[in-house]
Structure 1
Amino acid sequence: MKPILQNLVEMTGHRDHIRLEVSVLSTLQKLSGIIEIRALELFTDGGQPHLRPRTWVENGQLTSTDSEAAADPRRQSLEHYPALRECIAHHGDSALDSPRKGRYVLWLPVWMHEKVHTCLEITQSRPFSAHKLDVLKGVFHVYQNYQSLLDYSERDALTGLFNRKTFDEQFSRHTAMQGMPSQTGEAVEAMATEELSADNEQIEQWLAVVDIDHFKQVNDRFGHLYGDEVLILIANILRSSFRSHDRIFRFGGEEFVVLLRSTTLSTAHKVFNRFRMTVQEYSFPQVGQVTVSLGFVSTSKGAPVEILGQADQALYYAKEHGRNQVCYYDELIASGQLAAKVVGNDDVELF
Structure 2
Amino acid sequence: MKPLLQNLAEMTAHRDHLRLEVSVLSTLLHQGRDLRVRALELFRDGRGGPAMLRPRSWSEGGQIVSSRHEAADDPQALELAQLPELAKCIAAGARSATRASAEEHVLWLPVWLTDQAHACLEVSQPRPFKRHQRDVITAVFMVYQNYQSLLDYSERDALTGLLNRKTFDEQFARKSAGAQNAAAPGAQPVSDWLAVVDIDHFKQVNDRFGHLYGDEVLILVANRLRSQFRSQDRIFRFGGEEFVVLLRASTLEQARQALDRLRAAIAGHEFPQVGQITVSIGFAAAHGGAPVEILGRADQALYHAKEHGRDQVCYYDDLLASGALGRQVEHSEVDLF
Bin the TM-score by the shorter chain.
over 0.9
User: What does residue 330 of structure 2 align with?
Assistant: 341
User: What does residue 225 of structure 1 align with?
Assistant: 212
Tell me which of 237, 243, 253 is aligned to 2:224: 237
The reply on whether 1:168 has 2:169 as its aligned counterpart is yes
Structure 1, residues 173-194: CA drift from partner, whole Å, max 9, x if none? 111111435xxxxxxxx89x94
| Structure 1, unaligned runs of 5 or more | 182-189, 196-201
Q: How does 1:98-117 map to 2 (within 5 A)?
A: 98=100, 100-117=101-118
The reply on whether 1:328 has 2:315 as its aligned counterpart is yes
Q: Which amino acid aligns with 1:334?
A: A
Tell me which of 271, 275, 293 is aligned to 1:306: 293
Q: Aligned partners of 2:312 and 2:137: how far apart in 1? A: 52
Contact persistence 2:26–2:63 (CA under 8 A): no
The Cα of 1:77 is off from its aligned counterpart by 2.5
Contact persistence 1:40–1:119 (CA under 8 A): yes
The Cα of 1:347 is off from its aligned counterpart by 4.6
The Cα of 1:286 is off from its aligned counterpart by 0.9
The Cα of 1:76 is off from its aligned counterpart by 2.1
Contact persistence 1:306–1:343 (CA under 8 A): no
Q: Aligned partners of 1:157 and 1:34: how far apart in 2? A: 43
Q: Aligned partners of 1:34 and 1:248: how far apart in 2? A: 40
Contact persistence 1:42–1:52 (CA under 8 A): yes
Contact persistence 1:203–1:265 (CA under 8 A): no
Q: Aligned partners of 1:311 and 1:5: how far apart in 2? A: 47
| Structure 2, unaligned runs of 5 or more | none
Q: Which amino acid aligns with 2:17?
A: H
137-146 or 302-311, larger mean C-alpha shift = 302-311
The Cα of 1:61 is off from its aligned counterpart by 3.7
User: What does residue 44 of structure 2 align with?
Assistant: 44
Contact persistence 2:107–2:124 (CA under 8 A): yes
Q: Which amino acid aligns with 1:63?
A: V
Q: How does 1:145-294 map to 2 (within 5 A)?
A: 145-181=146-182, 194=187, 203-294=190-281
The reply on whether 1:10 has 2:24 as its aligned counterpart is no
Structure 1, residues 60-97: CA drift from partner, whole Å, max 9, x if none? 54232364434433222223222222222332211221
The Cα of 1:125 is off from its aligned counterpart by 1.5
Q: How does 1:50-61 map to 2 (within 5 A)?
A: 50-58=52-60, 60-61=62-63
| Cα distance change, pair 56–179 in 1 and its aligned pair in 2 (3 A) | farther
Structure 1, residues 194-248: CA drift from partner, whole Å, max 9, x if none? 46xxxxxx75111111110000011111111111111001000000111101100
User: What does residue 65 of structure 1 align with?
Assistant: 67
User: What does residue 92 of structure 1 align with?
Assistant: 94
Aligned residues: 332
Q: Aligned partners of 1:244 and 1:174: how far apart in 2? A: 16
Q: Aligned partners of 1:224 and 1:212: how far apart in 2? A: 15
Q: Aligned partners of 1:29 and 1:131: how far apart in 2? A: 15
The Cα of 1:348 is off from its aligned counterpart by 3.7
Contact persistence 2:155–2:163 (CA under 8 A): yes
The Cα of 1:59 is off from its aligned counterpart by 5.6
| Cα distance change, pair 150–84 in 1 and its aligned pair in 2 (3 A) | same
Deviation >6 Å, runs of 4+: none
Q: Aligned partners of 1:173 and 1:329: how far apart in 2? A: 23
The reply on whether 1:22 has 2:9 as its aligned counterpart is no
Structure 1, residues 141-198: CA drift from partner, whole Å, max 9, x if none? 00000000001000001000001111111111111111435xxxxxxxx89x946xxx
What secondary structure does 1:263 align onto? coil
Q: Aligned partners of 1:89 and 1:333: how far apart in 2? A: 49
User: What does residue 186 of structure 1 align with?
Assistant: none
Q: Aligned partners of 1:309 and 1:48: how far apart in 2? A: 36
The Cα of 1:263 is off from its aligned counterpart by 2.5
Q: Aligned partners of 2:187 and 2:331: how far apart in 1? A: 25
What secondary structure does 1:209 align onto? strand
Q: Which amino acid aligns with 1:128?
A: F
Structure 1, residues 224-281: CA drift from partner, whole Å, max 9, x if none? 1111111001000000111101100001000011101242111111111111111111
| Cα distance change, pair 2–341 in 1 and its aligned pair in 2 (3 A) | farther
User: What does residue 184 of structure 1 align with?
Assistant: none
Q: Aligned partners of 1:243 and 1:271: how far apart in 2? A: 10
Q: Aligned partners of 1:66 and 1:318: how far apart in 2? A: 36
162-171 or 69-78, larger mean C-alpha shift = 69-78
Q: Which amino acid aligns with 2:8?
A: L
What secondary structure does 2:35 align onto? strand
Q: Aligned partners of 2:312 and 2:74: how far apart in 1? A: 33
| Cα distance change, pair 154–73 in 1 and its aligned pair in 2 (3 A) | same
What secondary structure does 1:158 align onto? coil
| Cα distance change, pair 304–251 in 1 and its aligned pair in 2 (3 A) | same
Contact persistence 2:44–2:230 (CA under 8 A): no
Q: Aligned partners of 1:282 and 1:320: how far apart in 2? A: 23
